[in-house]
Amino acid sequence: MALVVQKFGGTSVADPQKIVAAAKKAIARQQGGHQVVVVVSAMGHQTDVLVDLAKAITDRPSAREMDMLLSTGEQVSVALFAMAIQSLGHKAVSLTGAQIGIRTDSTHTKARIKSISTDHVKSLLDSGAIVIAAGFQGIDQNGNITTLGRGGSDTTAVALAAVLDADLCEIYTDVDGVYTTDPRLLPEARRLGSISYDEMLELASLGAGVMHSRSIEFAKKFGVKVLVRSSFKDVPGTVILSAEESTPRPASGVALAKDEARITLENVPDQPGSSHALFSRLAASGIAVDMIVQNVGQGGRADISFTVPADDVPEALELSGAVAKQLGASGVSHDAELAKVSVVGVGMERAEGVAGRMFTALSAAGINVRMITTSEIKISVLVDKSDAQAAVQAVHRAFGLDAETAEGEADVAGSHLVKSSPLEVVRRLEGMEDLAIEDCQLDASQALVTFTELPDTPGVAAEVFEELGRAGLNVDMIVQSHPRDGRAEISFTVPAGDRDKAIVAAQKIASARGAAVADVPHVAKLSITGVGIRSHAGVADRLFKPLADCGINIDLVSTSEVRLNVVVAAEHGQKSLEVLRKAFGL
């Protein structure tokens, strides 16, 4: 007998008929000989309705009372769901997060799960009942109701699947799987038969709303197999599984974060500790920063730019202003009318010319790229909000995501699904949802090349990476800073053996464009790998602080959900490795 967790999203339980239809799916699973736990979201847009109610009373509702209010949406739907099953002649018991024993921290409205007790649920299952669990909610150590953040029912479902050692976690929703991009945004998007945890984690955290990214953290850490499928159509879905079981593709999908803002501290004294001063303040307020770019600057001063979701702008600006003053920076600028477009693929690292292809497509569409950062499995660019849709389409087409041959069918019955094993690091965690750092490694084989004074016009990045591609260069990290006074900076790393070739190619472009080229022939790249690196606020800062304390300056940074890379001068490589291993308890 297998144990299956099924999760039904808001649209899947929007009215009584849909609840009954969903209840029949749970019953069918149980009749197939399995134990079934169902996780349910609030009906339809009920959570939005409750948010609006609170806003009608006050602009600044307290977070604790918001949780008290929002958790009622799920309490309604679990009760109705259990009644539906009972009315069809089967046993069901509904439980709130507190009744299950979903313990969280006390960060109201975005609480993280610490532990889940399984005794009560298991005894109900053993008695033959289908257990209906309220999604999105838990309880803190003082008995306060907490919620996990919007979309958090996915996280409840996968976390329950993890602790119950479920064979499968089915996510029933209003699309029939994970698509190459949001099908509502781009009708030519295609369903993927399968996708790896790392890709889904990255896509979800970069804007693909189909899964709550924290649910994929659980899936990867605990080896839970997830199947995303339609509530309304009996068609194959998308299986989310480990990288070993999935096919590596240079690009699996394109994500859009529509409301992204860039904040820049201008003319910051370029010394160790500046980044730490800034990012520790942001982390302390729970603001998760994504793209971080520091330009090389002039006269011992540099600009530090970073992106945050537009909602966090007021608070991030206030904190940045205070830090700018303290550091003696000349000022703070920002732009909240931006969007972030990212392409994600685990096979990207081994494919050639991926970055060039993306920038060429954006250039051909006349889109100016405001900032670039890359990691091993993704490239993110910042564009004007008005260009967002065109950018997604251009990038999606450039990687042939609209036309790829039909995907393998997902195994809907789940009969051949073999569970992956939990990551080793899980044993060391105190709380289930704690940040999981697995390793820190040093790569001392690269050179760093930087263009300064590049004109800020569409097509510059494309030209640079097309030329490097023609020279047969394999570029690793790429960063383009936020342009100032019409001039941008692009830095990239290549294998140190290719440094001379890279300089020749770079100088060719630089002389045609009136730019300058500088380089560091040997740099050290440190990579920290784990799960949930970007979504846990403050991870980047845990790296800035120990390096600053040793007087080590950081040349480049890039973040993803599964990896954090920093580039420092070669002579600091070993020392950096030591302090970082210590800082992350490795």
**DSSP of 437-487, one letter per residue?**
EEEEEEEEEEEEEEEEEEE--TTHHHHHHHHHHHTT-----EEEPPPBTTE
Say whether residue 151 binds Mg ion (CB under 5 A).
Answer: yes
Say whether residue 135 binds Mg ion (CB under 5 A).
Answer: no
150 binds, among ligand ASP, Mg ion, ligand ADP, none (CB under 5 to 8 A by kind): ligand ASP
CB of 33 to ligand ADP, least distance (A): 27
Q: How many residues does the chain have?
A: 586
Q: Are strands 92-95 and 130-134 parallel, antiparallel or unpaired?
A: parallel
CA atoms of 530 and 581, how far apart (whole Å): 13
178 binds, among ligand ASP, ligand ADP, Mg ion, none (CB under 5 to 8 A by kind): ligand ADP
User: Of 462, 459, 250, 262, which is closest to residue 352 (Cα–Cα)?
Assistant: 250
Q: Which of 65, 105, 174, 456 binds ligand ADP (CB under 6 A)?
A: 174
Q: At 30, list the tokens.
A: 């149980």
Q: Which of 19, 132, 170, 179 binds ligand ADP (CB under 6 A)?
A: 179
Q: Helices in 289-431 by DSSP H: which ranges?
A: 313-327, 354-364, 388-398
Say whether residue 152 binds ligand ADP (CB under 6 A).
Answer: no
Residue nearest to ligand ADP (CB): 9
Write the CA distances from 63 to 14, 66, 537, integer angstroms.
26, 5, 19
152 binds, among ligand ASP, Mg ion, ligand ADP, none (CB under 5 to 8 A by kind): ligand ASP
CB of 392 to ligand ADP, least distance (A): 10
Say whether residue 42 binds ligand ASP (CB under 6 A).
Answer: yes
Taking the least distance from each CB to ligand ASP, the nearer of 81 and 136 is: 136
Residue 351 main-chain phi, psi, to 5 deg: -90, 150
CA atoms of 249 and 226, how far apart (whole Å): 20
Say whether residue 297 binds ligand ASP (CB under 6 A).
Answer: no
Say whether residue 215 binds ligand ASP (CB under 6 A).
Answer: no
Say whether residue 96 binds ligand ADP (CB under 6 A).
Answer: no
Taking the least distance from each CB to ligand ADP, the nearer of 377 and 435 is: 377
Say whether residue 362 binds ligand ADP (CB under 6 A).
Answer: no
CA atoms of 49 and 52, how far apart (whole Å): 5
CA angle centred on 576, ends 574 and 582, rounded to 5°: 105
Q: At 339, list the tokens.
A: 């969007």
Say whether residue 151 binds ligand ASP (CB under 6 A).
Answer: yes
Whether 305 and 264 have beta carbons less than 8 Å apart is answered as: yes
CB of 581 to ligand ASP, least distance (A): 37
Whether 239 and 248 have beta carbons less than 8 Å apart is answered as: no
User: Of 543, 17, 114, which is closest to residue 289 (Cα–Cα)?
Assistant: 543
Say whether residue 136 binds ligand ASP (CB under 6 A).
Answer: yes
CB of 120 to ligand ASP, least distance (A): 22
Say whether residue 97 binds ligand ASP (CB under 6 A).
Answer: no
Say whether residue 202 binds ligand ADP (CB under 6 A).
Answer: no
Site string for ligand ASP, 56-95 (x = CB under 6 A): -----------------x----------------------
135 binds, among ligand ASP, ligand ADP, Mg ion, none (CB under 5 to 8 A by kind): ligand ASP
Taking the least distance from each CB to ligand ASP, the nearer of 8 and 492 is: 8
Interface residue list for ligand ASP (CB under 6 A): 9-10, 41-42, 47, 73, 135-136, 150-153
Interface residue list for ligand ADP (CB under 6 A): 9-12, 41, 151, 173-175, 178-179, 181-184, 208-210, 253
Interface residue list for Mg ion (CB under 5 A): 9, 151
